[in-house]
Amino acid sequence: QPIILAQDLGKTYRSGKLEVPALRKVSFEVDPGEFVAIVGPSGSGKSTLFYILGGLTQATSGSVLIGGTDFARLTDAERTKMRRAKIGFVFQRFNLLPTLSAMGNIEIAHDIANLGAEEKKPIDQPLLEHLTEMLGIKGRLEHRPNELSGGEQQRVAIARALISRPAIVLADEPTGNLDTKNSDAVLHMLRTSSRELNQTVLMITHNPEAAQIADRILHMRDGEITHIENGKG
C-alpha cells in the first residue's frame, strides 16, 4: 500500500474575480521508505502541493490519502493531530523558535508530535545521539538560533523533524538558503534517514542537482507533473 496516494489533485486560488489555477489533476503514489523529489520552476505548484500533502491547506478537487486515510474527510482537529503525529516538516527558512535553544526546539517538536498520544514517550536518546552526531550539532545544542549559522540552524531543523520518527518527512527547499557544504550535509541526512529509519521523504527543490539524490524525481510545470525520472539515490 502506498503511504501517499494523490489522485487528480487540483487547487485554484481565488481572490475576487481572479482565479489562479495552481494544480491541475496531479496524481502520483509514494511507497513507504521512498525518497521522492519534486522539481520545477517557480510558480509550477510545488509549494501548493506541499501544503496540501502536509494538511496545511485543502485541495479544491481530487483526494490525497496518507497511509490510507483521506485528509479531506477528517475534521480540522483530526487533521492537525495526524499532521503532528505523522509528518515532520523542514522549511527553507528553518523556522526555529527564536527564544529556545537548539535542544529546546528539538524537545518542543517532540512534545508536539506526542500531543495526541495516549502515553507521552520520552525522547529516544540513542536516536538523538545519532542525529546530532551525524548532523555535527552536538556541541551547539545549548545555543539559540541567532547564535547559530544558517547551516547549523537547518541541521537543527532536520534533527527536530526526525526526532519523533515521523512516517513522512516533508521538506520544502531545505537547501535553498545553504552553501554547498551544508546542502550536502542536509541532503545526506535526509537520504540516510530514509534508508535507515525507513522514512518516507518528499523534498521540494528547484535545484535539479539536489534532486538527483532521490529515488524518483517528479517534474512539475504549470501545475502538472510532466514526467517522472529515476534519481541516482
Question: Interface residues with ligand ADP (CB under 6 A)?
Answer: 13, 15, 20, 22, 40, 42-48, 84, 87-89, 95, 97, 108-109, 112-113, 160-161, 166
CB of 20 to ligand ADP, least distance (A): 4
Rg (the chain; Cα; Å): 17
CB of 229 to ligand ADP, least distance (A): 17
CA distance 152 to 70: 36
- Do residues 66 and 30 lie in contact, with contact meaning Cβ atoms separated by under 8 Å? no
Q: Is 180 exposed, middle or buried (0-12, 13-18, 19+ CB in 10 A)?
A: exposed
Residue 107, classed as helix, strand or coil, is: helix
Handedness of CA 8, 113, 140, 191 (dihedral sign): negative
Residue with cell 535526509: 190
CB of 135 to ligand ADP, least distance (A): 14
CB of 201 to ligand ADP, least distance (A): 13
CB of 40 to ligand ADP, least distance (A): 5
Residue 99, classed as helix, strand or coil, is: coil
CB of 136 to ligand ADP, least distance (A): 19
Q: Which is nearer to ligand ADP, 26 or 30 (CB)?
A: 26
Question: What are the strands of the beta sheet with 61-66, ordered from one edge?
Answer: 18-30, 4-15, 61-66, 69-70
Q: Which is nearer to ligand ADP, 102 or 181 (CB)?
A: 102
CB of 14 to ligand ADP, least distance (A): 8
Q: Which is nearer to ligand ADP, 171 or 181 (CB)?
A: 171
Nearest to 227 by CA among 1, 52, 44: 44
Q: Which is nearer to ligand ADP, 13 or 133 (CB)?
A: 13
Q: Which is nearer to ligand ADP, 181 or 187 (CB)?
A: 187
- Determine phi and psi for 15, rounding to 5 degrees: -140, 110
Strand partners, 172: 204
Q: Which is nearer to ligand ADP, 97 or 117 (CB)?
A: 97
Q: Which is nearer to ligand ADP, 72 or 82 (CB)?
A: 82
- Do residues 96 and 156 lie in contact, with contact meaning Cβ atoms separated by under 8 Å? yes
